Amino acid sequence: MRKLVVGSRRSKLALTQSQQFIDKLKQVRPELDIEIKEIVTKGDRIVDKQLSKVGGKGLFVKEIQNELFEKQIDMAIHSLKDVPSVIPEGLTLGCIPDREVPFDAYISKNHTPLRELPEGSIIGTSSLRRGAQILSKYPHLEIKWIRGNIDTRLQKLETEDYDAIILAAAGLRRMGWSDDIVTTYLDKDVLLPAIGQGALGIECRSDDKELLDLLQEVHNKDVEKCVTAERTFLAEMDGSCQVPIGGYATINSQQQIEFTGLIMTPDGTERYEHTAIGESPTELGKEVSRVLKEQGAYEIIRKLNEEQ
């Protein structure tokens, strides 16, 4: 096998999860020679604006995909929730490895439970999905935009006027934070995760058979089925960072896929949600999308996309 060059965002989390994936590859193929090339994306450069206002998901992957096309790197290791539902022609997700905890972590001052926060308490999140779901269940709370890496957000919780923040549990765990810092993990009944949250997507060129064969050695077929249902729903709903959209699939005890899709208004006042069970991840994503469209959810998406 040739020497492999991995493209990764320069953030501490991106580099850490890239190294963790490389270590996983080397467990099955110790002889591999792999290096990481750090790539600064537009999303990394824009730190003072809400992502939904400046272009959304593709901000974290476009420069990296260009490096793949130019053969400067062999594969890219993405947080799957940052990857748009449509992959450019010539590229493919060659591997979906094991998924980390997909839920969100709620971290509050003095470990005050979410249900006990007093009226007017401020929760920091940069996610429309998180904000909408919190407001729908706890309309007496206030959502305040927050950006930055994990360390920055935790520091802001201590030094600024936030009573709590919500972060992806996967990032915390990959960075080695102990569960002690988390007040509680919010399961799907409280906060439905983002599409692909907790999963990695390993992107490479579609014609790189040698690498694609290697990646299959650390590929998780069950996780692939789940995220395919989620990402199909995202594509069918024309979802983006401008839209509070969530989706989460699991494999149940009968080895069927159970998928829940969610669309909301940013203020949490309108909620469209549907769960379906089936064998085909693609058909499942389409089915949930069809039901939500029939309920009127697409009108929310149309309005929000028109506003941008």
Instruction: State the catalytic residues.
Output: 82
Q: What does the block give as tokens for 126? A: 């940069």
Q: Please provide residue 281's backbone torsions phi and psi, each rounded to the nearest 5 degrees.
A: -60, -40
Beta-carbon contacts of residue 133 (< 8 Å; ≥ 6 apart): 190, 191, 192, 244, 246, 262, 264, 268
Dihedral-angle region of residue 169 (phi above 0 means left; psi in -120 to 50 means alpha; beta otherwise): alpha
Sign of the torsion angle spanned by Cα atoms 43, 93, 23, 252:
positive
Compute the distance between CA of residue 43 and CA of residue 272 in angstroms, rounded to an integer. 29
What single string gives the DSSP state of each residue in 121-180?
A: -EEE-S-HHHHHHHHHH-TTSEEE---S-HHHHHHHHHHSS-SEEEEEHHHHHHTT--GG
